[in-house]
A and B are shown apart, each in its own frame.
Chain A
Amino acid sequence: DQQVKQNSPSLSVQEGRISILNCDYTNSMFDYFLWYKKYPAEGPTFLISISSIKDKNEDGRFTVFLNKSAKHLSLHIVPSQPGDSAVYFCAVYNQGGKLIFGQGTELSVKP
């Protein structure tokens, strides 16, 4: 059973526009959520996180929104840049303190 789901395998946006990546989770007990970015031939790198006591966290062009009632989080990138093209993973820490990842969304930002 997939506890963390990213239903869009890919997303293509124009440079300068907003990119919105979505993630759903099943367990209401999850309380810490992260986004990782992965380039080919590199390991995932941490991007931004949010605790369940918040509904929004911003870091420069990146904002994560958390909707606990819907068990949904999203990552907004504004404005999108070609260098943002990568695979983005949503992840949560389970009760044992271990990371559970979604399947990933491949973002392509066109110049």
Chain B
Amino acid sequence: ETGVTQSPTHLIKTRGQQVTLRCSSQSGHNTVSWYQQALGQGPQFIFQYYREEENGRGNFPPRFSGLQFPNYSSELNVNALELDDSALYLCASNLRGSGAYNEQFFGPGTRLTVL
């Protein structure tokens, strides 16, 4: 069973650029969530996708967008990068089932630095 993987590991961009981060869900999982973890903070929920549709969004502007593909891999896109977007971006997957709370499995993250 393959765990959650993310690419790239590290990324450096400049203000105003656009970035795409990628996530491959754990095998069999149909739900993916993205989180932003700033230095010294806990992960903050960006949005979640279930069966290729957005299923909830945190307090992030529209320039943060996402996609989930039929194979349940996912992308996070950020447009017009700002310095404050520098953070660790975490992807988590889970199998949405009959239970209300399904354990989320996290990838190792992508460290984004915006200069």
Asked whether, in the complex, the Cβ of B90 is within 8 Å of the Cβ of A44, the reply is yes
Given contacts A98-B33, A103-B41, A104-B41, contact A41 B108 (CB under 8 A): yes
From B40, B48, B106, contact of A44 by CB (8 A): B106
Residue ranges of B at the interface with A (Cβ–Cβ < 8 Å): 4, 33, 35, 40-45, 48, 56, 58, 90, 92, 100-101, 103-109
Asked whether, in the complex, the Cβ of B48 is within 8 Å of the Cβ of A98, the reply is yes
Asked whether, in the complex, the Cβ of A98 is within 8 Å of the Cβ of B101, the reply is no
Give A33's nearest chain B residue, CB to CB.
B101
Asked whether, in the complex, the Cβ of B42 is within 8 Å of the Cβ of A104, the reply is yes
Smallest CB separation, B47 vs chain A (Å): 9
Asked whether, in the complex, the Cβ of A93 is within 8 Å of the Cβ of B58, the reply is no
Query: A104 — which chain B residues lie within 8 A by C-beta?
Result: 40-42
Known contacts A46-B104, A104-B40; 6 additional CB pairs below 8 A are: A36-B106, A49-B103, A89-B43, A97-B101, A100-B45, A101-B44
Query: A59 — which chain B residues lie within 8 A by C-beta?
Result: none
Q: In the docked arrangement, what's the CA distance between A101 and B43, Å?
A: 6
